[in-house]
Structure 1
Amino acid sequence: MLKQLFSKLTIIDRYILKRYLMTFSTMLLLFIPIGITVDVSEKINKILENKVPFLKVAAYYLDFIIYFANLLFPIFLFLSIIWFTSKLANNTEIVAILSSGISFGRFLRPYMVGATLVSLFALLMGFFLVPKASDGFNNFRYMYLKGGGRQEMRQTSDVYRQISDTEFIYASNFSQEIKTGYNFVYEKFDKEKLLYKITANSIVYNPKTKDYTLMNYTKRSIGELDDRIETENVKTMKFNFEMDDLTPVVYIAETLNMTELNKFIEKEKQRGSSNINRYLVVKYKKYSIPISAFILTIIAVSVSSMKRRGGMGINLAIGIAIAFAYVFLDKIFGTLAEKSTFSPFIAVWIPNIVFGILAYYLLKNAKR
């Protein structure tokens, strides 16, 4: 399909497409070293203080490149299109192209081909490369760079989970390092009727045998006339959960590929997770970011295809303002969805909808 598409491209199409892809790649290659330099200057004291091995630091910055290239790809794409399209306009190349009888819509075709290639690349990165990079990036940051990072990685206090349709658990606190939970409560239901309740001062996970040891174990079985109570100082039992499932790291959704993420979200929905909106935002962004390539391409071409008295600087100033407005809107609604009951799907797609309308308006004016 791509081969047929490229065979239909004219010399002008290939010229614009080549500039599109080369400028975008150059923009990434220029800004990534700057980002690494700034990050190193901020974090070098922490890295030296914690005596982090060089190989771990090198792996962190490899993950850093992929993580931030994906995060800031809409801005880099937008600015690179404005840059080279403004140069075409200043050299009156666009005037010559349109004067030859080519319509503005036809002039946009190589830009749309470029946006298709970039969005496919971003989609594949978001599905496969970015999750692994995000895992390495966040693990390093929490382990070595944040004060108390190991404690902040997980929700370890007042953990309440529904582990199946009929089973609920609670613990006042979990210690991930020693695999221990405190003030543990387990409840088993039959529809809305409580069958029995287990409590323990502490619960310890045994990785080798994959079971749990409960201290000061008490089981109250609910009867029709009276309850039956069992107590033991130490009790070993098996449960249908693991501690890593009960206290996932806060950035867990970013580290999963699409198949794993869908399964994880379904499991967390059953458990009544309070972070479900955060996970859904991550899921929907995997699709919305690639779509933004088309919207931002149309806006960038519409803004920069006109030769202005102020030259390229005016176009870049307008482009930077629009790019940061897009990022601001994206962050505002993403945070709103994570922290409230606002729909994650709507929150993620609002920036694309708003800027899609802007793209349509600017394109109509550019054609005139």
Structure 2
Amino acid sequence: MLTIIDKYILKRYLATFAVMLLLFIPIGIVVDVSEKINKLLENKVPIVEIALYYYNFTVYFANSLFPIFLFLSVIWFTSKLANDTEIIAILSSGISFTRFLRPYIMGASIVSVFVLLMGFFVVPSASEGFNNFRYMYLKGGGKEAMRGDNTDVYRQINDTDFIYVNSFNTDTKTAFSFSLERFKNDKLVHKITATRITWNPKDSTYTLYDYTKRTVGPLNDVIVKLPEKKAVFEFDLEDLTPVVYIAETLSLGKLNAFIDKERERGSSNINVYLVVLYKKYSVPISAFILTIIAVAVSSMKRRGGMGTNLAIGIALAFSFVFFDKIFGVLAEKSSIPPLLAVWLPNIVFGILAIYLLRNAKR
């Protein structure tokens, strides 16, 4: 059963977190609009698409920065309780510090479940819409937008076939500077190139523009050129997409299936996909760690008041986000195991949380 104190603290926990989101998200939108207003006007972006973009923007960045918002909200209202001597009154009534933490842990559980479900089902869709809008209207003044992001995707499809694309746009399902090479016994059999290749969902085919096929012969090569050609290939549409882009836009089930397929192919980019997968689980757990640190830091009444607690909180929150980003990049670009790299910030700050909690109990 929840006591009056539990309900009071839990209500403050959730309400302050919600208010923190409502305060900072509009600021982020205003800053983003001020940076992009020229390109939005130049490309004559419809109002409906702008509204949809900022919905996706809100979901995407709220999920990315939620540890900072949560940490600052807990620091804020706990410091307020400490300055009003409410914590002293609660502990003086015989309630232990561990028991005092219970509503905080309940609040962290609610937030964690919410963030977990958002990361599984809502954020991937928002990430896709957010990136599609950027590629369509904001990159290269709207001219290079249709080309997407220059990612230079190179993949081995099976034992004999290799594909390469310079860029891919998920909105038009079009890849640019496409090539397919087939080898047998380490010798090139044929090479297909096209300036662009487009997916046709109605009949599950691809249309290649400025098609060229060069078949290597024992004496002479055979070259076939066509302005346009439809073809069926063994690779999937996802094989043409940028590495991180596609991983971020897949729901949990699709992401797991995608990783299994890439692992079977021996993809060299498997660490990138695993980082995206593991972060779906590690980020919600950080809610508990940051909550405990925030309570331990702000539960004491300090001479500097709430400002001191907020300064400490901001430093710790940004340190957590910094380490989270750094180790994520290291997992993608180095030999560090992705699971260790993604969870290392939680482990380090978890140890810090235990240390601060013990000091706070004293």
Task: Pick the TM interval, shorter chain.
Answer: 0.7 to 0.9
Which runs of no fewer than 5 residues in structure 2 stay unpaired?
none
One of 323, 330, 338 as aligned partner of 1:344: 338
- 1:233 is the counterpart of 2:229: no
TM normalised by structure 2 equals 0.87
CA contact (8 A) 2:127 2:248 kept: yes
Distance change >3 Å, CA 173–CA 76, structure 1 → 2: closer
User: How many percent identity over aligned positions?
Assistant: 63
The DSSP-based 3-state class of the residue aligned with 2:183 is strand
Distance 2:23 2:199 in 1: 50
Q: Could you list the per-position Cα deviations for residues 198-236 of structure 1 after superposition, in whole angstroms to 9, with x for gaps in the alignment?
A: 33454966736526776344166xxxxxx7998463697
Partner Cα distance (1:119, 1:206) in 2: 38
Question: Which of residues 98, 109, 122 in structure 2 aligns to 1:105?
Answer: 98
Question: Equivalent residue of 1:102, what SS?
Answer: coil
Q: What residue in structure 1 maps to residue 88 of structure 2?
A: 95
Within 2, Cα distance between the matches of 1:48 and 1:260?
36
Q: Contact 2:165–2:176 at 8 Å: present in 1 too?
A: no
Checking the alignment, whether the CA contact within 8 Å between 1:46 and 1:145 is kept in structure 2 is yes
SS of equivalent residue, structure 1 residue 199: strand
Relative to 1, partners in 2 of residues 1:200 and 1:122: Cα closer, same or farther, differing over 3 Å?
closer
What displacement does 1:276 show?
Answer: 2.5
Residues 78 and 295, structure 2, Cα contact 8 Å, conserved in 1 = yes
CA contact (8 A) 1:154 1:250 kept: no
Match of 1:215 in 2: 212
- Amino acid in structure 1 at the alignment position of 2:288: F
Counterpart position of 1:197: 189
What do residues 304-331 of structure 1 show as CA deviations (whole Å, max 9, x unaligned)? 0001111111111110111111111111
Please tell me the residue identity of whatever aligns with 1:289: V
Indicate if the aligned counterparts of 1:179 and 1:243 stay in contact, CA closer than 8 A: no
CA distance in 2, matches of 1:109, 1:15: 12
Identify if the C-alpha distance between structure 1 residues 200 and 58 changes in structure 2 by more than 3 Å, giving closer, same or farther: closer
The 1-side partners of 2:269 and 2:145 are apart by 19
Separation in 1 of the partners of 2:168 and 2:61?
32
The question of 1:304 aligning with 2:301 is answered no
Does structure 2 conserve the Cα–Cα contact (< 8 Å) formed by 1:173 and 1:183?
Answer: no
Q: Distance in 1 between matches of 2:168 and 2:59?
A: 32
Distance in 1, matches of 2:61 and 2:19, equals 15
| TM superposition shift of 1:336 | 1.5
The structural deviation recorded for 1:345 is 1.3
* 8 Å CA contact 1:13, 1:110 repeated in 2: yes
Query: What CA distance in whole angstroms lies between the structure 1 residues aligned with 2:106 and 2:276?
Result: 27
Q: Equivalents in 2 of 1:84, 1:301: separation in Å?
A: 10
List gaps (5 residues or longer) in structure 1. Answer: 1-7, 221-226
Answer yes or no: is the 8 Å Cα contact 2:165–2:240 preserved in 1. Answer: no
Is 1:275 aligned to 2:266, yes or no? no
Q: Counterpart in 2 of 1:259? A: 253
* Contact 1:161–1:271 (CA under 8 A) maintained in structure 2: no
Tell me how far apart the structure 1 counterparts of residues 219 and 256 of structure 2 sit (CA, whole Å): 41
What residue in structure 2 maps to residue 16 of structure 1? 9
Equivalent of residue 181 in structure 2, options 178, 182, 185: 185
* Aligned: 1:132 with 2:125: yes
Name the counterpart of 1:332.
326
User: What CA RMSD, in Å, does the superposition of the two structures yield over aligned residues?
Assistant: 2.7
What amino acid is aligned across from residue 277 of structure 1 in structure 2?
A: N
For residues 41 and 330 of structure 1, the distance between their equivalents in structure 2, rounded to whole angstroms, comes to 28
Cα displacement string for residues 345-365 of structure 1 (whole angstroms, at most 9, x for unaligned residues): 111111101100000000000
What SS does the aligned partner of 1:184 have?
Answer: strand
Partner Cα separation in structure 2 for residue 339 and residue 240 of structure 1: 29
SS of residue in 1 equivalent to 2:212 = strand
Corresponding position of 1:35: 28
Indicate conservation of the 8 Å contact 2:147/2:176, yes or no.
no
Displaced runs of 4+ in structure 1, greater than 6 A? Answer: 174-178, 227-230
CA distance in 2, matches of 1:126, 1:242: 25
Aligned partner of residue 251 in structure 1, secondary structure: helix
User: How does the TM-score come out when normalised to structure 1?
Assistant: 0.86
| Closer, same or farther: CA 247–229 of 1 in aligned 2, 3 Å | farther
Does residue 356 (structure 1) correspond to residue 321 (structure 2)? The answer is no
Question: Quick check: 2:302–2:308 contact (8 Å CA) kept in 1?
Answer: yes
- 3-state SS in 1 of match to 2:303: coil
Asked if the contact 2:17–2:74 (Cα under 8 Å) also holds between the matched residues in 1, the reply is yes
Maintained 8 Å contact 1:17/1:113:
yes
Do the aligned partners of residues 122 and 200 (structure 1) sit closer, same or farther apart at CA in structure 2, a change above 3 Å counting?
closer
Q: What's the CA shift string for 1:138-160, capped at 9, x where partnerless? A: 111122112234445253x4x54
Cα distance in 1 for partners of 2:127, 2:179 equals: 33
Post-superposition CA distance 1:181-206 (Å, at most 9, x none): 55531135xxxx56982334549667
- Residues 228/287 of structure 1: CA separation in 2 closer, same or farther (3 Å cut): farther
> 2-side partners of 1:175 and 1:307: how far apart?
55
Q: Does the 8 Å CA contact 1:142/1:152 hold for their aligned counterparts? A: yes
